[in-house]
Structure 1
Amino acid sequence: MSTPATESASRVGARATKAGYRGTKVRRQRVRAAWMFLIPMLITLALVAGWPLARTFYFSFTDASLSDTAGAAWIGIENYLVFDDGNWYGILTDPVWWQSVWNTLFFSVVSVSLEVVFGIIVALLLNAEFKGRMLVRAAVLIPWAIPTIVSAKMWAWMLNDQFGIINHLLMALGLIDSPLAWTADASLSMWAVIMVDVWKTIPFVALLVLAALQMLPKDCYEAAEVDGIHPVKVFFRVTLPLITPALLVAVIFRLLDALRVFDVIYVLTSNSTNTMTMSIYARQQLVEFQDVGYGSAASTLLFLIIALVTILYLYLGRRQLGVDE
């Protein structure tokens, strides 16, 4: 025999089940609506990026040339690695390729590290209260707003060993005795392009960090000031952990740009092996040597290296933030 308490519990259970069903239905509707908005973008992305990427993968297994891509023959992995007449051939045995890989990784690590350090410093300065702060913020964005080709050409003139203003200023200050070939000297060219890239992209990092600083709670700093904690310790114990998510976003965007860098280095140093990156190597094979198969193999390896570095960085970033997989 049922009791009033049992009937009440049954009604409560039925309402909960009905509410859960409605919640599940609403969730399914939201998922369907999300996919309806995403599908056009995914189709466009597949046509714009997916199809050329698939063609690049295909050409990397052929002997296609720039003058005859339609008559390309399938050669398997010979563009990557092949053993013939007692010797190994292919891109994986090319010392110039491995030099370009090392140059790319060195450029990426050094430039992104410097951009993060100086970007944080600039963001902290811009976050402080001072007269004319808005004007300074706008001025700081100028290097980032200048097109890369324009800024690279501008710096190429400034770094010229004959009439560049950089050498003129350094000699006037007595720091050097004779003009330096910034973009031609093997020991200086990489540092020259790193300097130009850092100058241009510091504002991007600073902008993201500044946005994070603007959202930090003020009570933490007020409590630290009352307790007499040193500002340096406050930065490393409070500020830096709170802006870490913004830093991760800034680093991943800058890392992707640095790994596929082409324009700034090509304008400053052209095809010099001292600064040749993977993108410049692939361009040289595709355009100058007109070897579409070999160049596509280089482009494919570039894509795989960037994908691997990105996945590894995101994984470590999620571990650092304590996000469950």
Structure 2
Amino acid sequence: MARPSSDRLGYLLVAPTVLILLSITAFPLAYNLWNSLRHVVLTDPSSAGFAGLENYRALLGDPQFAQVLARTSLFTVVSVSVQMAVGLMVALVLHRRFRGRGLVRAAVLIPWAVPTVVAAISWKTMLDPQSGVLSFLFGVDTAWLAGEWTAWIAIAVADGWKTVPFVAIILLAGLQVIPGDIYEAARVDGSGAWHAFWKLTLPLLKPALMVALIFRTLSALLIFDVIFILTGGGPGDTTETLSYVTWREFLVESDFGGGGAVSVLMLVLSLVIAGAYTRLFRLDRREG
């Protein structure tokens, strides 16, 4: 059965963009995959050679890598859950009518507009135990980044400060396309605000929630710059994540084989998560 002409036109329109993206990403991905199947240590030229799946076996059998994967997954689940909840609350507030709403909406976007490196350096300065603003406000000289849990809390706060506005703006866009008539009908039927939120707002907001959830989950899973600036993976290696291990393997250890294996596993994990979210969303729409 031939496709309608509108479908063919759609494919033709997106074809140039797809070709450009493939030309930019296909070679690096293929080259990285090839490196992951070889022994490539730049400081040891004699190490070059085909390794098959040895890099992957060494990686998956390393207890330290299992710890990195566990802490990255835990950070992703906790940070994304909190950011989605806070972002939803901010979006609900910004959706209401009040004086100066436009100014507040613009102000909320400021953290998102600040470059991540600048934001991380600012937070590191504020967390300084001697001269930091937080130590001055609380009256204690706490080395916030010297402890494992306090360092993770600092990372989560710094990351959330920048990314919650992104979640809020996406959800605000979703709220604005919900017809107001359905809320009027719900009030006529005697539905309260809490009931309308659970039965109307959340179900109708699912497309925006899914977009924000996919973007934030993948971003949290691949977090690097905030950790690199704030803690450098420390104290010790307790705040190292998958992206940090990839950077260390490539640029510190000069092990392109091991680094390639880590990055390929990260790519596979990202695709699995995105696919799971998309499938869950489609099933939810069919059931609805």
Alignment of 1:69-108 (within 5 A): 72-81=48-57, 90-108=58-76
- Hey, what's the Cα distance between the residues in 2 that align with 1:38 and 1:131? 42
1:163 counterpart = 2:127:
no
Corresponding residue of 1:312: 276
In the alignment, structure 1 segments of 5+ residues that lack a partner are 1-23, 82-89, 172-177
Aligned-partner residue type, residue 137 of structure 2: L
How far apart are 1:119 and its partner, in Å?
Answer: 0.8
The aligned counterpart of 1:149 is: 117
The residue number in structure 2 matching 1:42 is: 18
In the other structure, the counterpart of 2:39 is 63
How far does residue 70 in structure 1 lie from its aligned partner after superposition? 11
Q: Which residue of 1 aligns with 2:176?
A: 214
Cα displacement string for residues 124-153 of structure 1 (whole angstroms, at most 9, x for unaligned residues) = 111111111100100010001101111011
TM-score (ref. length: structure 1) = 0.83
Cα drift, residue 30 of structure 1: 3.2
With over 3 angstroms needed to count, the CA separation of the structure-2 counterparts of 1:238 and 1:323, relative to structure 1, is closer
Structure 1 residues 30-39 or 229-238, which shifts more?
Answer: 30-39
SS in 1 for 2:111: helix
Partners of 2:171 and 2:5 lie apart in 1 by 37
Contact 2:112–2:165 (CA under 8 A) maintained in structure 1 = yes
When normalised by structure 2's length, the TM-score is: 0.93
Cα 1:283–1:323, aligned 2, differ >3 Å: closer, same or farther? farther
| Cα deviation, residue 92, structure 1 | 1.2
Q: Give the SS at the match of 2:148.
A: coil
> 2: CA distance between counterparts of 1:202 and 1:133?
18
Does the CA-based 8 Å contact 2:38-2:51 persist in structure 1? yes
User: Residue 126 of structure 1 contacts residue 133 of structure 1 at CA under 8 Å; is this kept in 2?
Assistant: yes
Deviation of 1:56 (Å): 0.8
Could you tell me which runs of 5 or more consecutive residues in structure 2 were left unpaired when the two chains were aligned.
none
* Alpha-carbon contact 2:55-2:257 (below 8 Å) kept: yes
Query: Any conservation in 1 of the 2:210–2:277 contact (CA below 8 Å)?
Result: no
Question: 1:69 deviation in Å?
Answer: 8.0
How far the C-alpha of 1:229 sits from its partner, in A, is 2.6
Which residue is equivalent to 1:289? 253
In 1, Cα distance between the equivalents of 2:47 and 2:255? Answer: 13
* Equivalent residue runs for 1:197-236 within 5 Å: 197-236=159-198
Match of 1:279 among 218, 226, 243: 243
Q: Is the contact between residue 193 and residue 264 of structure 1 (CA under 8 Å) also seen in structure 2? A: yes
**1:264 corresponds to which of 207, 223, 226:** 226
Bigger Cα displacement from structure 2, 34-43 vs 210-219: 34-43
**Equivalence for 2:285:** 321
The 8 Å contact of residues 189 and 274 in structure 1, kept in 2 or not, is answered as no
Q: Secondary structure at the match of 2:56?
A: coil
**Shift in Å, 1:275:** 1.4
| Aligned-partner SS, 1:80 | helix
Give the structure 2 partner of residue 252 of structure 1. 214
How far residue 227 of structure 1 moved from its aligned partner, in angstroms, is 3.8
Question: Which residue number corresponds to residue 181 of structure 1?
Answer: 143
Q: 1:225: how far off?
A: 2.6
Shift of 1:157: 0.5
> Which structure would you say has the larger Rg?
1
The count of corresponding residues between Structure 1 and Structure 2 is 286
CA distance in 2, matches of 1:59, 1:274: 28
